[in-house]
Structure 1
Amino acid sequence: MSSAAEHGIRRDQHVKGLRGRPALVTGGAQGIGRAVAERLVEEGARVMIMDTNEEFGKSAVAELARRPGGEHVGFVHGDISEESDVVAAVEATRTAFGGVELLVNCAAAFITRGIEATVEEWRRVTDVNIMGHALMVKHSAPLMEAAGGGSVVNVSSISAHIAQPRSVTYSATKAAIIGMTRCMATDLAGAGIRVNAVSPGTVWSDNLARRYKEKYGVSREEADARPDIGGRHMLHRTADPEEIASAVAFLLSSEAGFITGENLMVDAGLTVT
């Protein structure tokens, strides 16, 4: 896998306001969520990973434990569509790290169907991508308010902004996340809680690599060269998960202290054209 450094991206200093702060990252065992967890550990935050994949979650904690700051990383197994799991994850973070001040909603059900989608498919994708995000904020917000404020980043997608074939289910929920973000920002501003979203373009995660290998039989380099994959972006390539994590870290940090209710496009200009 290519790295952000190979694409000419370099970070010479840490962002401000993350060191020592307790963070909860859903979907943090893989993909964008894993990159976010790694970045927050690097920034000195105390990170609780929540994921439905227990094997990946424990592996992530074991790997991060070998890095500086990795002694302040934990894992809780759970599904954000189950309120009892959400409560347990928030409580586990409070017990381990004293509260929740930073929340990143990365967990998602990647169900792409058109109008033929079944009721069960609709319920699963909305339960995770909409209700799950709402539940996480509902139960984390009181701890943020008690701490004097906090920051939430919800992960949406370019799918919220452009029409894609046979993607009504996924696109609808990702668009809902942006609407929820604005409403949550309005409701929680008085408690000192900022709520923002990011909308990534095509991100070359391990899951995407497997799907594209099965669907198109292409490598990362081949996908970047295709006009319908990497070529859709102005930079003519897909993104590294770490590049999305950088945007998330910024929005969580005090450097974004006057930003709330926003959706940051991290799509290399895909939605501009």
Structure 2
Amino acid sequence: MKGIKGKVVIVTGGAQGIGRATCEAFICHGAKVVIADINKEVGKKTEQELKKKGGAVLYVETDTANESSVSNMVKKTTEMFGRVDILVNGAAVFIMRGIEATVDEWRRIMDVNIMGYALCVKHVVPEMVKVGKGAIINIASTSSFIAQPKYLTYNATKAAVANMTRCMALDLAEHNIRVNSVCPGTVWTKNGEEFIMKTMGLNREQADLHPEIGGAHMLKRTADPEEIASVIVFLASDEASFMTAENVMVDGGYTAQ
């Protein structure tokens, strides 16, 4: 992918799921990757595994809802690699609640899914300005645009991400920083598997056949994390140099029906 080799990429929530697949994809294209994740055990393990594959990788324990933690992560990135070219905002919590959600649940999901994205952008932009350009990819969702039962808390935050993307793109265009989002449908990650198993008792084969899960997509299946990661890398690359303020659906046709 043109324009990725040698670039420094921060992936929040990079230790597992879509985040890990994204880290691997960037490494395959010759980027240097920082895994910013709150889960130290999984983060260090992912760092070691990706280093064995020949990647230039750094893990930094990061709570994206904490500004000091975010600032420290960016500082460690520049100390190690000297710059920041690309940010992938992926760290999120999955609190699926309706109007019965507690104040603490609302605050937690908003702190991570909205404030966390904003803080990471705030602290990487000065580094991108030094470079003279940059690319930011926010992970939104099909849930940014549709109503789903008992998903009020989650969907509200993902809707915010979709419009944050547009506003950030407008504000940062003067610095030659592009901001886009990807909006996945249902992705078969560890967290997704645990949620579907807990709530519906389905394995992947069963989930792909279920009319409300895989069957809700035109392609009649859930996605692999790698299928989302490939679009993220594209949006970060020079191949997408005239794309900004876009919310790119990667949903197997889910929202088009």
TM normalised by structure 1 equals 0.93
Q: 2:51 aligns with which of 49, 60, 65?
A: 65
Q: Which amino acid aligns with 1:24?
A: I
Structure 2 distance, partners of 1:233, 1:259, is 25
SS in 2 for 1:59: helix
Correspondence for 2:181 = 197
Deviations 1:115-163 (A, max 9, x none): 1111111111111111110010010001001001000000001111110
Correspondence for 2:190 = 206
Superposed displacement of residue 216, structure 1: 2.0
Identity of aligned residues (%): 55
Superposed displacement of residue 20, structure 1: 0.4
Correspondence for 1:267 = 251
Deviations 1:41-61 (A, max 9, x none): 111110000111101100101
Correspondence for 1:22 = 8
SS in 1 for 2:146: coil
Q: Say whether 1:104 aligns with 2:88.
A: yes
SS in 2 for 1:100: coil
SS in 2 for 1:196: strand
**Which consecutive unaligned segments of at least 5 residues does structure 2 have?**
none
SS in 1 for 2:219: coil
**Which consecutive unaligned segments of at least 5 residues does structure 1 have?**
1-14
SS in 2 for 1:271: helix
Q: Say whether 1:219 aligns with 2:203.
A: yes
Correspondence for 2:19 = 33
Structure 2 distance, partners of 1:217, 1:180, is 35
Q: Say whether 1:54 aligns with 2:40.
A: yes
| Count of aligned pairs | 257
TM normalised by structure 2 equals 0.99
SS in 2 for 1:249: helix
Structure 2 distance, partners of 1:160, 1:188, is 22
Structure 2 distance, partners of 1:166, 1:119, is 16
Correspondence for 1:120 = 104
Superposed displacement of residue 167, structure 1: 1.0
Structure 1 distance, partners of 2:150, 2:206, is 24
Structure 1 distance, partners of 2:93, 2:193, is 17
Structure 2 distance, partners of 1:271, 1:47, is 32
144-153 vs 218-227, greater mean Cα deviation: 218-227
Equivalent residue runs for 1:155-234 within 5 Å: 155-234=139-218
Superposed displacement of residue 217, structure 1: 2.0
Q: Which amino acid aligns with 1:108?
A: A
Q: 1:146 aligns with which of 130, 139, 152?
A: 130
SS in 2 for 1:218: coil
SS in 1 for 2:110: helix
Q: Which amino acid aligns with 2:185?
A: G
Correspondence for 1:80 = 64
User: Where in structure 1 do 4 or more consecutive aligned residues deviate above 4 Å?
Assistant: none
